[in-house]
Structure 1
Amino acid sequence: MSKPYVVAIAGGTCSGKSTLTDRLEAVFAPRCKTAAFHMDSYFKKEPPHTIAPITRKEYVEHNHPDTLELPRMYEDFARVTAEGSDAQLVLAEGLFALYLDDIRERADLKIFVDLASDERLARRIVRFMAWGQTFEEVTERYLDTVRFRHNELIEPTRWHADLVVNGTLDNSQAVDVAACFIEKKAGLL
């Protein structure tokens, strides 16, 4: 029994992390036992609050590792990535996939999904308005806290990445490049 090949996929809010993960899962699931590990599944039921650095307005925090149920997440991650687990390939995606040592150090391949901040904001507006928030609520929160957390915690993690890919994912080239590398290194040809 061998340990699964682990790919950590990080990037800013709405950068395309989940899309890349879904596309890689679609490529590999027909060929091997693939597990997608989504860090968003581990948000605390009652997340902490944060005070915006400029406006001093209080917000529910979702852009800091303290918002995650880390012990449960690490336990589940250790189980899915353990030698002898069912999975041959684990795709671990989330804002903090390259920030958290316990995830990053276990990864065989580290990918950072890069996308310009204006494009990430536009995607965030569309997504959160579809969930019932107003334009003003989405943009105010992004400008007050999300961009600061990105600059503080997420952007620096790109230096841990083995591969930085374009988050527009308009074509499949980033998926093809990542898949080709994974196939070769993980022996999933």
Structure 2
Amino acid sequence: MKPLIIGIAGGTGSGKTTLVDRLLEQFGDDISVLPHDNYYAAHHDLSLEQRQTLNYDHPASFDTDRMIQDLQALRAGKTIHCPVYDYAIHDRTEETRELKPNKVILVEGILIFENKTLRDLMDIKLFVDTDADVRILRRIVRDVKERGRSLDSVVEQYLATVKPMHEQFVEPSKRYADLIVPEGGKNSVALMMIIQRIAYHIEHGDVVAEQ
């Protein structure tokens, strides 16, 4: 069965992960997740202080070419070894994570629609749209509680790079979406539509329903 590849994009703190989690709860082992964040470029030659000053919200901060190769391999039915990124040290680790081909592959990240070659691999493109004030509050809570960042560093990074990069790259990429989902996984109507589409693919494979 050819996998159904679904891209889930949106700004930081928009609710992408919540949507992914809802789909995993529904379909479990039939879904594999490929996060763009895992493909941040390695910076082993830089000190922690130097890595902390980098712009992680620009497309150039990702090794998207490797992600494209891995996604092509998954689509061809091959197992890949996905990089692992450590937010605490702002760098890629030496570890990899084995990811096997599956019926459905979710590609998740803020900038996955910015690269044409990457987005052309996706069968369905979803953009999770949430107000900026809600997104920054969620990012602060996440980065302080889960990633060990200080409040000052989160706010400084948001103003210096996250906000301007969102306006320059993320928001414009919304025009490539097949479906814009306000509030992500909390949008029960959109969630049900997505679930029904995935369920149809899992049951019928490559057969497309009559319009």
Global fold match (TM > 0.5): yes
Structure 2 unaligned regions, length at least 5: 47-51, 80-100, 205-211
1:138 aligns to 2:154 (yes or no): yes
RMSD of the alignment, in Å?
2.3
| Alignment CA distance shift 1:187-1:128 (3 Å) | closer
1:105 aligns to 2:154 (yes or no): no
Check whether the contact 1:3–1:84 (CA below 8 A) recurs between aligned residues: no
Query: Residue 123 of structure 1 aligns with which residue?
Result: 138
Structure 1 Cα separation of the partners of residues 61 and 16 of structure 2? 19
Describe the SS at the equivalent of 1:91. strand
TM-score, reference length from structure 2? 0.75
Describe the SS at the equivalent of 2:128. strand
| Percent identity of paired positions between Structure 1 and Structure 2 | 33
Structure 2 Cα separation of the partners of residues 69 and 154 of structure 1? 17
Query: Residue 58 of structure 2 aligns with which residue?
Result: 64
Check whether the contact 1:8–1:103 (CA below 8 A) recurs between aligned residues: no
1:94 aligns to 2:88 (yes or no): no
TM-score, reference length from structure 1? 0.83
Query: Residue 23 of structure 1 aligns with which residue?
Result: 22
In the TM superposition, what is the alpha-carbon distance from 1:174 to its structure 2 partner?
3.0
The alignment of Structure 1 onto Structure 2 pairs a total of residues equal to 176
| Alignment CA distance shift 1:28-1:164 (3 Å) | same
| Alignment CA distance shift 1:27-1:71 (3 Å) | same
Amino acid across the alignment from 1:113: V
| Alignment CA distance shift 1:26-1:102 (3 Å) | farther
Query: Residue 53 of structure 1 aligns with which residue?
Result: none
Query: Residue 175 of structure 1 aligns with which residue?
Result: 191
Structure 1 Cα separation of the partners of residues 7 and 120 of structure 2? 9
Cα-to-partner distance string for 1:107-149 (whole Å, 9 max, x where unaligned) = 1111000010000100011111122322222112111211110
